[in-house]
Structure formats: structure tokens, C-alpha cells
């Protein structure tokens, strides 16, 4: 007997990828219910060759649902996730709403699957940029300890949604046809609402989300706080600079770390990374082999390379990390959590 699965936000970029990941999941599934706003109700999406009708999301949508995958914005999760839990479903939420709730596990299955045992009906999916960094750093942390992380991200526009992707396409076209770069029309980035907007085409925006405490953006604070929660270590020093770049999909990160053990070499780090589940080592400078965003697309794995020692600190190392932000950074990690729960006997009919 299989499970009944609901996808909330089925028409979004991540929702579409969730449906795609469910088509190949090891989780036994009987039925999939697609949920979205009223304006999408009645439309259809394909699942395993069958056209499924999208239903309007209401608090009564979760009767008979075993697993509900949410990716429709924090406000939607805040309103409807409790209703799903009340109806008996386990919620796996891809928004930021529950991530720092002390009673909600924040899970990357390769890193802290044990945290799933403490759920109260809701499991939070971490931020896309945090997820790939956790996969890249966990084998290093386990083998050698970690005392400091400094990360700079190069985040794809798909992380900002379909409208941002479309605006970048228009900007690129206009720029190629002669519109001055500083005159390109911009209505979305670096963040929504009534804030200032700047073109992303041929540009890099050192702001993702709005600025918050100590002039770090919310995106940067997410990486700091989520890292400490997932690794269950508030003593790790973490700092982030999050940058939006004109790449459509695939996040890249430059990460500096300091390990705790003495005598660790770059080859030691390469060895533990090569053996870690879900992590692919691509590190051959002599042949110009290193992770690239375009090569991560459609892949569930996280890729790491350019691993090298710091020139001044013997415990310091630099690395380059890449992942498909819509898959491992969102949809795949969510489905993977459900698979892990089933495997561990935490998901039952």
C-alpha cells in the first residue's frame, strides 16, 4: 500500500520539480494531489503520463493525505501546514517559515537524518544555499572538526522565481540590442516590494532579500543560523555574503573553512569528500576540472572542487561548491526527506 502525497504550490518552479522528483522516487505512492491558488485550479499537469487536475488549496485539502510537500511561500505554509498536520499528514516545508522553530527539525538527509525522529508533524527544508554547503562540509566536519566558515555565494536567478527569470531574459535581449546596461528595466531584483530594483543582466547584486541586523541580509542570516542548527553547534563561526548573478539555474559558492585538527592536508579533505554520499568530487586543476553550474543542472548531487590550503593559516582551506538549486536545494531534498522517513520507519500508513 502506497502513500497519498500532496504538492502545495504545484505550478511554481520548485513545485514542478517536486512533481518531477516524485515520478522517480523510491517512496511508494498511490495518489498525488496537486494544490495551488484559485487562479490555477482546473488546469492540469502531467504526472507519470497522466494529466492531473490542479485543485484550489483550502484547509480541507488534506483529508487522506499522508505527506504534504509545501513550496508556495511562507504565508501559505503558516496558514495551511497546521491544517495538513491536523488532518494527519506529515508536512515537509520548503519555505523559511518553520526553519528556526526549535520544535521543527531542519534537515539535510546526508547530514542530520537523525533529527527527523523529533518531528511534531512538520519538517523544514533548509535554504537552498545552506543545503549544498552542508553536504560539502559535513564530511570535513566529521573527520576534522570545523571552527569557522566564511562563504560567498553566486546564486542563480531561478532562486528568485519564474518572474525574475523572465525579467533577466528580457534584460539580456534588450542589452544585446543596444539598451545601456544602467537603463535596463528592472522591477523585481534584488528583492520585491517597494524597494529599489536593479538590472541583473551583465551585473552582480550583492543583496538577496532585505537588509537586517548588522547590515547582513536575511539570506545571509539564514545561512548563519541554519548552519548552526543543522550541525547542532552554536560555537561554529559562520559569516556569509550572498550575491545574485545572471545565471539561470545552479548556485555556486566559494567557501573558506578552518578545521580543528592539526596536520590536515588538502588531499585529506578531498578523500573524505570523495567518499561522502550525495557529494561528487571534481578536482583536477591540471586538466581544468572543477564544478560548474551548467553541469549541475538536473543532477541530485552536490559538487565540490578547487580544494586547496590557505596560504597563511595551516588549518584554513578553500573550496568551490555547486548544486542545482531547484533540485538538491529544494525539490529533491524535500522528497529525499520523505524517502528517508520511510526508510527509517517514521512514515507509515
* Strands (E) located in 94-203: 122-124, 146-155
Give me the phi and psi of 140, to 5 degrees please. Answer: -70, -45
* Strands (E) located in 66-145: 67-70, 90-93, 122-124
SS3 177: coil
Give me the phi and psi of 266, to 5 degrees please. Answer: -60, -35
Place of cell 592539526: 262
Give the closest residue to 29 by CA, choosing from 62, 63, 5: 5
H/E stretch holding 110: helix 109-112
User: Known catalytic residue: 251?
Assistant: yes
SS3 1: coil
- In sequence order, the β-bridge partners of residue 287 are none
Omega cis (within 30) before 291: no
| Dihedral-angle region of residue 170 (phi above 0 means left; psi in -120 to 50 means alpha; beta otherwise) | alpha
Sorted by sequence, the CB contacts under 8 Å of residue 285 that are 6+ apart come out as: 306
Contact by Cβ (8 Å): 71, 15: yes
Give the pairing type, strands 316-323 and 251-259: antiparallel
Give the pairing type, strands 3-8 and 67-70: parallel
User: Known catalytic residue: 242?
Assistant: no
DSSP state letters, 222-258: HHHHHHHHHTT-TTSEEEEEEEE-S-SS-EEEEEEEE
Grid coordinates of 327:
533540485
Active-site residue, from 97, 119, 128, 273 = 128
Active-site residue, from 97, 251, 273, 321 = 251
The residues assigned a catalytic role are 128, 251
Amino acid at each position: 500500500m502506497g502513500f497519498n502525497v500532496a504538492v502545495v504550490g504545484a505550478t511554481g518552479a520548485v513545485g514542478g520539480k517536486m512533481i518531477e522528483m516524485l515520478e522517480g522516487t523510491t517512496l511508494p505512492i498511490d495518489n498525488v494531489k496537486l494544490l495551488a491558488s484559485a487562479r490555477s485550479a482546473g488546469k492540469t499537469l502531467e504526472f507519470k503520463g497522466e494529466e492531473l487536475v490542479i485543485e484550489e488549496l483550502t484547509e480541507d485539502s488534506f483529508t487522506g493525505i499522508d505527506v504534504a510537500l509545501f513550496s508556495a511561500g511562507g504565508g501559505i505554509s503558516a496558514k495551511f501546514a497546521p491544517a495538513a498536520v491536523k488532518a494527519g499528514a506529515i508536512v515537509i516545508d520548503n519555505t523559511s517559515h518553520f526553519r528556526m522553530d526549535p520544535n521543527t527539525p531542519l534537515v539535510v538527509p546526508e547530514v542530520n537524518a537523525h533529527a527527523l525522529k523529533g518531528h511534531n508533524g512538520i519538517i523544514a527544508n533548509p535554504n537552498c544555499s545552506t543545503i549544498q554547503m552542508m553536504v560539502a562540509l559535513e564530511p570535513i566536519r566529521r573527520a576534522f572538526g570545523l571552527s569557522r566558515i566564511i562563504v560567498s555565494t553566486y546564486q542563480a536567478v531561478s532562486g528568485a522565481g519564474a518572474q525574475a527569470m523572465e525579467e533577466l531574459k528580457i534584460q539580456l535581449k534588450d542589452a544585446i540590442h543596444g539598451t545601456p546596461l544602467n537603463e535596463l528595466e528592472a522591477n523585481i531584483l534584488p528583492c520585491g516590494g517597494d524597494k529599489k530594483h536593479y538590472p541583473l543582466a551583465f551585473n552582480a547584486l550583492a543583496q538577496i532579500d532585505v537588509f537586517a541586523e548588522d547590515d547582513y541580509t536575511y539570506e545571509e542570516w539564514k545561512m548563519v543560523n541554519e548552519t548552526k542548527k543543522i550541525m547542532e553547534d552554536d560555537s561554529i563561526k559562520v559569516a556569509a555574503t550572498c550575491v545574485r548573478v545572471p545565471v539561470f539555474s545552479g548556485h555556486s559558492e566559494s567557501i573558506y573553512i578552518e578545521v580543528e585538527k592539526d596536520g590536515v592536508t588538502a588531499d585529506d579533505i578531498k578523500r573524505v569528500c570523495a567518499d561522502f554520499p550525495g557529494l561528487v568530487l571534481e578536482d583536477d586543476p591540471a586538466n581544468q576540472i572543477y564544478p560548474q553550474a551548467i553541469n549541475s543542472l538536473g543532477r541530485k548531487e552536490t559538487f565540490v572542487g578547487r580544494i586547496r590550503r590557505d596560504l597563511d593559516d595551516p588549518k584554513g582551506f578553500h573550496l568551490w561548491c555547486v548544486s542545482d538549486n531547484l533540485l538538491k536545494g529544494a525539490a529533491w531534498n524535500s522528497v529525499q526527506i520523505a524517502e528517508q522517513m520511510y526508510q527509517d520507519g517514521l512514515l507509515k500508513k
